[in-house]
């Protein structure tokens, strides 16, 4: 008997798959298709560790499983090669991002090959390749023409270490997502994509997606819809009005002052002369602080009085107008009506500056200063004709009343901000815009794409765009008038590259269009998308936006909602010694040596066995040996059957059918760990009374997880076609239903009852069932001193 020589087996099958084009995806699938994708990796210098493998193995298991169900598969792989990680790593390694990325990709490709996945390598893409980023620039131009890309001067998040701006999504708890530095604020002209135009659709469509609830919730909270009212407050002795957005129009009678954000344009127009100096000073200071800092709830409140007053439109009372930095310019209207009795921040502000506090909602219909600020719903008080109403009802009524007087309107706001896409960094796709002295801001002509990234620059970050250093790059001519013009020197956020790559996979070689529409239509939407939870509010939101926008432009039509990812699965993280596996924590297990020692199949198996794939799991260093032994035993067993075939016994047949049912259901529900357990149980149970054909069925069940191993045994069992061209086995429901046994229950040898039980029940279970039968009264208070069980026939209780 041949021994389990995984090295030659795995090499043999990987070569054979490649030579026969086994994983080549059709351009136009003509039957059921299955597009199975992993979030494509950025090629870091560190290479892959076993935590990365987990998702790649899972997606491959699913792709192979679907292939065995006759589906046509698209399972591609590529590299998110532009961006800060590659650039920072290149700086550290004293290399150029281009050379560094090339090397990193080579290493990644080699490691990815070890997985033995059914990737169609002919479709490999690299987002830093001009053939790719040409189309990233093209998509920019499309969005620009549609008014969805624009430039504006805005206070932006600035990372002093990375020396670049960050999108809101890249700021985590006030720190740079990449390097952890405290993010500051800078006033800069930047490029934005108008994702806010899609806020409502991005939110509502979530209801139709087969995504984990947790991820949907993260997106919902990020988009954060709030329903309220826009209310106008006239400014005393002027014809000006201050508009506020409030979610609590029910508290209007309690509005005792207003606060404007320091950036609010009306401040200059209403400020009383004796307050100018103080207000100006305050504004200057506030502008240095980031929004995230300003929003922190536990900060001491600061502010200044403008000397001006407004009229509360509901009761015509005069209220003072203040400036304070806890009001943000980027949300609502940048002005707030302040209700200290019912809002914590307003309450603290009123206490500090001694402003009036009027309670207008109460839990029992009475004033109760001790419970302020009172944030809950309740009964209206101190609110004239609205007294006694529930605050919920008053919300509607007060807004209606003011709407009739044209002083208010219902309004919905979103927290979502436009996506800031320009970066003052080198390693990205140049933004295809030029500035002409005559024509101003002009988009590049499509036929001039790609705008190549120049190489004659020092790419280390200095706070200003490195592209500016290249005269050759910067100097150009205006596409409209032909006069000299300069290029935009910022590059695009890498999330722009990754917002459409899944479309390119359907037609990666196309030089005429970003991808042939028929090919996109044939493969999209993605049937299974696998990646970590960390991209919930970044990549997954951006990609949905770009798909919707391109759909609206008529460039895509595969889904009426424009949604690219039908089903999303979040893979759990791998931990080692209680910490998330990562190079920086020094707790990395690399797959290479495990593959060398135990084989790719054993590692694939352990990746699926280490825990439920939707949960984080602790890596056990020796865990892989259990899987390896299982493969080795299965190997020996199968070879024995091959050499000495017999008929399948009834007992084995039942086990086989039960295992088919169990493994099928487990894979369908992403329970790979229990699928493997069932396979182990089955082989423990089997005796050698099993036919080759029946054994082949069980080998097929193993094949998505252990593809090389299964191919080899399949061949040994006499097949000359790849196992993946065969069919997933069916089970026979009749054979699963277990047979019954009649058991005689005796007490001291006398027959007392007869029961019918499933034949697969063991002694303990039969004992339990017997003790609840009629014999209870025969035993009574007597003590059981011995139980004699004759399997499947008799159970005798000896009592005294
Ligand atoms: C009056 C009021 C009374 C409010 C009350 C709350 C409680 P969400 O739910 O996040 O939409 N607000 C509005 N614009 C703001 C800005 N630019 N900066 C800081 N705060 C702002 O929050 C809406 C509420 O946040 C609004 O409702 C407003 O305060 C405040 F008892 O208006 B409210
Ligand atoms: Zn011009």
- Report yes or no: 404 and 387 within 8 Å, Cβ to Cβ: no
Q: Is the CB of 262 under 6 A from ligand 1?
A: no
Q: Is the CB of 264 under 6 A from ligand 1?
A: no
- What is the pLDDT at residue 85? 77
Q: Which residue, judged by its Cα, is nearest atom 10 of ligand 1?
A: 226
- What is the pLDDT at residue 162? 84
- What is the pLDDT at residue 351? 95
- Point out the ligand nearest to the CA of residue 253: 1
Q: Which atom of ligand 1 is nearest to the CA of 249?
A: 1
- What is the pLDDT at residue 764? 83
Q: Which residue, judged by its Cα, is nearest atom 25 of ligand 1?
A: 246
Nearest to 744 by CA among 792, 785, 787, 777: 792
- Judged by DSSP in three states, 199 sits in helix
Q: Is the CB of 330 under 6 A from ligand 1?
A: no
- Judged by DSSP in three states, 338 sits in strand
* Structure letter (DSSP) for residue 56: H
- Point out the ligand nearest to the CA of residue 435: 2
Q: Is the pLDDT of residue 131 over 80?
A: yes
Averaged pLDDT, 670-698 = 95
Q: Is the pLDDT of residue 30 over 90?
A: no
Q: Which residue, judged by its Cα, is nearest atom 12 of ligand 1?
A: 336
Nearest to 614 by CA among 675, 674, 573, 581: 573
User: What percent of the chain shows pLDDT beyond 70?
Assistant: 99
- What is the pLDDT at residue 503? 98
Nearest to 233 by CA among 320, 354, 123, 351: 320
Cα–ligand 2 centroid distance for 439 (angstroms): 4
- What is the pLDDT at residue 299? 81
Q: Which residue, judged by its Cα, is nearest atom 5 of ligand 1?
A: 343
Q: Is the CB of 246 under 6 A from ligand 1?
A: yes
Cα–ligand 2 centroid distance for 521 (angstroms): 39
Domain ranges of the chain: 226-414, 738-799
Averaged pLDDT, 453-471 = 87
Cα–ligand 2 centroid distance for 435 (angstroms): 8
Q: Is the CB of 347 under 6 A from ligand 1?
A: no
- What is the pLDDT at residue 408? 93
Tens digit of pLDDT for each residue in 494-523? 999 999 999 999 999 999 999 999 999 999
Averaged pLDDT, 411-432 = 94
Q: Is the CB of 116 under 6 A from ligand 1?
A: no
Averaged pLDDT, 159-178 = 83
In CATH, which of 3.30.300.30, 2.60.20.30, 3.40.50.300, 3.90.740.10 is domain 226-414? 3.90.740.10
- Report yes or no: 510 and 446 within 8 Å, Cβ to Cβ: no
- Report yes or no: 170 and 176 within 8 Å, Cβ to Cβ: yes
Cα 393–397–403 angle (5° rounding)? Answer: 150
- Which residues lie at CB < 5 A from ion ligand 2? 436, 438-439, 478, 480-481
Q: Is the CB of 248 under 6 A from ligand 1?
A: yes
- What is the pLDDT at residue 115? 98
- What is the pLDDT at residue 499? 98
- Point out the ligand nearest to the CA of residue 413: 1
| pLDDT higher at 332 or 543 | 543
Task: Give 765's pLDDT tier (boundaries 50, 70, 90).
Answer: confident
Q: Of the residues 223, 233, 246, which should be mutated to test ligand 1's pocket, given the most ligand atoms within 8 Å of the CB?
A: 246
Cα–ligand 1 centroid distance for 448 (angstroms): 48
- Point out the ligand nearest to the CA of residue 443: 2
Q: Of the residues 222, 245, 249, 381, which should be mutated to test ligand 1's pocket, given the most ligand atoms within 8 Å of the CB?
A: 245
- Point out the ligand nearest to the CA of residue 338: 1
Q: Which residue, judged by its Cα, is nearest atom 27 of ligand 1?
A: 246
Residues contacting 733, CB < 8 A, separation 6+: none
Q: Which atom of ligand 1 is nearest to the CA of 226?
A: 11
| pLDDT higher at 167 or 364 | 364
* 680 burial via Cβ count (<10 Å: 0-12, 13-18, 19+): middle
Q: Of the residues 231, 247, 250, which should be mutated to test ligand 1's pocket, given the most ligand atoms within 8 Å of the CB?
A: 247
Q: Which residue, judged by its Cα, is nearest atom 19 of ligand 1?
A: 327
Q: Is the CB of 343 under 6 A from ligand 1?
A: yes
Question: Identical fold at 226-414 and 738-799?
Answer: no
Tens digit of pLDDT for each residue in 601-655? 999 999 999 999 999 999 998 999 999 999 999 999 999 999 998 999 988 999 9
| pLDDT higher at 699 or 761 | 699
Q: Is the CB of 295 under 6 A from ligand 1?
A: no
Task: Give 105's pLDDT tier (boundaries 50, 70, 90).
Answer: very high
Helices (H), ranges, 369-516: 391-404, 471-474, 494-497, 501-504
> For 117, phi and psi rounded to 5 degrees?
-80, 160
Averaged pLDDT, 664-686 = 96
What secondary structure, in 3-state letters, does 113-169 show? HHCCCCCCHHHCEECCCHHHHHHHHHHHHHHHHCCCEEEEEEEEEEECCCCEEECHH
Q: Of the residues 199, 295, 331, which should be mutated to test ligand 1's pocket, given the most ligand atoms within 8 Å of the CB?
A: 331
- Report yes or no: 79 and 105 within 8 Å, Cβ to Cβ: yes
Tens digit of pLDDT for each residue in 365-378? 899 988 899 999 99
Tens digit of pLDDT for each residue in 544-598? 999 999 999 999 999 999 999 999 999 999 999 999 998 778 899 999 999 999 9
Averaged pLDDT, 378-406 = 94
Cα–ligand 1 centroid distance for 294 (angstroms): 14
Mean pLDDT is highest, among 64-68, 325-329, 752-756, for: 64-68
Q: Is the CB of 251 under 6 A from ligand 1?
A: yes
- What is the pLDDT at residue 634? 97
Residues contacting 504, CB < 8 A, separation 6+: 125, 132, 135, 514, 515
pTM value is 0.85
Cα 313–315–321 angle (5° rounding)? Answer: 60
- What is the pLDDT at residue 430? 98
- Point out the ligand nearest to the CA of residue 333: 1
Task: Give 90's pLDDT tier (boundaries 50, 70, 90).
Answer: confident
Q: What is the average pLDDT value for the chain, to the nearest integer?
A: 93
Q: Of the residues 252, 343, 346, 376, which should be mutated to test ligand 1's pocket, given the most ligand atoms within 8 Å of the CB?
A: 343
CATH architecture of 738-799: Roll (3.10)
- What is the pLDDT at residue 19? 96
Cα–ligand 2 centroid distance for 232 (angstroms): 43
């Amino acid at each position: 008997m041949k021994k389990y020589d995984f090295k030659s087996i795995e090499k043999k099958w990987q070569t054979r798959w490649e030579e026969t084009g086994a994983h080549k995806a059709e351009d136009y699938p003509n039957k059921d298709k299955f597009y199975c994708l992993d979030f494509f990796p950025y090629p870091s210098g560190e290479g892959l560790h076993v935590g990365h493998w987990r998702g790649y193995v899972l997606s491959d298991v699913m792709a192979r499983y679907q292939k065995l169900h006759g589906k046509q598969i698209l399972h591609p792989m590529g590299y998110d090669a532009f961006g800060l990680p590659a650039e920072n790593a290149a700086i550290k390694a004293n290399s150029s991002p281009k050379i560094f990325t090339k090397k990193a990709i080579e290493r990644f490709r080699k490691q990815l090959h070890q997985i033995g996945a059914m990737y169609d390598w002919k479709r490999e893409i690299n987002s830093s390749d001009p053939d790719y980023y040409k189309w990233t620039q093209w998509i920019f131009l499309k969005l620009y023409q549609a008014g969805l890309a624009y430039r504006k001067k805005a206070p932006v998040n600035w990372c002093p270490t990375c020396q670049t701006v960050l999108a809101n999504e890249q700021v985590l708890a006030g720190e740079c997502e990449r390097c952890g530095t405290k993010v500051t604020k800078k006033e800069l002209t930047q490029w934005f994509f108008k994702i806010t135009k899609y806020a409502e659709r991005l939110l509502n469509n979530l209801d139709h997606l087969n995504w984990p609830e947790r991820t949907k919730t993260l997106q919902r909270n990020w988009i954060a819809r709030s329903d309220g009212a826009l209310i106008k407050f006239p400014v005393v002795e002027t014809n000006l009005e201050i508009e506020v957005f409030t979610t609590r129009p029910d508290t209007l009678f309690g509005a005792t002052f207003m606060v404007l954000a320091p950036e609010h344009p009306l401040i200059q127009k209403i400020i009383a002369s004796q307050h100018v100096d103080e207000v100006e000073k305050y504004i200057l200071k506030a502008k240095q602080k980031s929004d995230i800092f300003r929003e922190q709830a536990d900060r001491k409140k600061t502010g200044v009085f403008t000397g001006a007053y407004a009229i509360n439109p509901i009761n015509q009372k005069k209220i003072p107008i203040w400036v304070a930095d806890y009001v943000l310019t980027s949300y609502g209207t940048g002005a707030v009506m302040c209700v200290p009795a019912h809002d914590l921040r307003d309450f603290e502000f009123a206490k500090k500056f001694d402003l009036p506090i009027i309670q207008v909602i109460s839990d029992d219909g009475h004033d109760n200063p001790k419970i302020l600020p009172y944030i809950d719903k309740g009964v209206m008080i101190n609110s004239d004709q609205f007294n006694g109403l529930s605050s919920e009802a008053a919300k509607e009524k007060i807004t209606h009343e003011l709407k009739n007087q044209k002083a208010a309107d219902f309004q919905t706001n979103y927290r979502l901000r436009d996506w800031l896409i320009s970066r003052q960094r080198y390693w990205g796709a140049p933004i295809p815009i030029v500035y002409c002295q005559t024509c101003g801001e002009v988009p590049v002509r499509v036929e001039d794409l790609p705008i190549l990234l120049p190489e004659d620059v020092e790419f280390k970050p200095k706070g200003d765009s490195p592209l500016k250093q290249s005269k050759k790059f910067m100097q150009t001519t205006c596409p409209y008038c032909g006069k000299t013009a300069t290029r935009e020197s910022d590059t695009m956020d890498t999330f722009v590259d990754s917002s459409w790559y899944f479309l390119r996979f359907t037609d990666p070689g196309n030089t005429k269009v970003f991808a042939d529409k028929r090919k996109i239509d044939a493969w999209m939407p993605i049937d299974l998308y696998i990646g970590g939870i960390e991209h919930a509010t970044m990549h997954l939101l951006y990609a949905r936006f770009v798909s919707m926008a391109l759909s609206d432009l008529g460039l895509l039509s595969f889904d009426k909602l424009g949604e690219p990812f039908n089903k999303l699965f979040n893979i759990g993280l791998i931990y080692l010694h209680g910490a998330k596996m990562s190079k920086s924590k020094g707790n990395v297990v690399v797959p290479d040596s495990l593959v060398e020692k135990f084989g790719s199949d054993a590692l694939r198996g352990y990746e699926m066995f280490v825990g439920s794939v939707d949960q984080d799991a602790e890596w056990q260093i020796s865990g892989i040996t259990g899987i390896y032994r299982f493969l080795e035993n299965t190997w020996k067993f199968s070879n024995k059957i091959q050499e000495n075939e017999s008929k399948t016994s009834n007992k084995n047949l039942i086990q086989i059918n039960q295992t088919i049912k169990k493994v099928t259901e487990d894979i369908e529900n992403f329970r790979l760990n229990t699928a493997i357990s069932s396979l182990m149980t089955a082989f423990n149970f089997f005796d050698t009374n099993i036919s080759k054909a029946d054994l082949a069925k069980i080998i097929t069940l193993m094949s998505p997880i252990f593809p090389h191993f299964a191919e080899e045994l399949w061949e040994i069992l006499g097949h000359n076609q790849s196992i993946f061209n065969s069919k997933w086995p069916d089970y026979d429901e009749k054979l699963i239903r277990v047979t019954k046994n009649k058991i005689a229950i005796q007490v001291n040898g006398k027959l007392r009852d007869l029961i019918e039980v499933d034949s697969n029940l063991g002694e303990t279970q039969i004992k339990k069932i017997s003790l609840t039968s009629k014999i209870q009264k025969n035993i009574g208070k007597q003590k059981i001193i011995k139980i004699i069980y004759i399997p499947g026939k008799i159970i005798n209780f000896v009592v005294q």
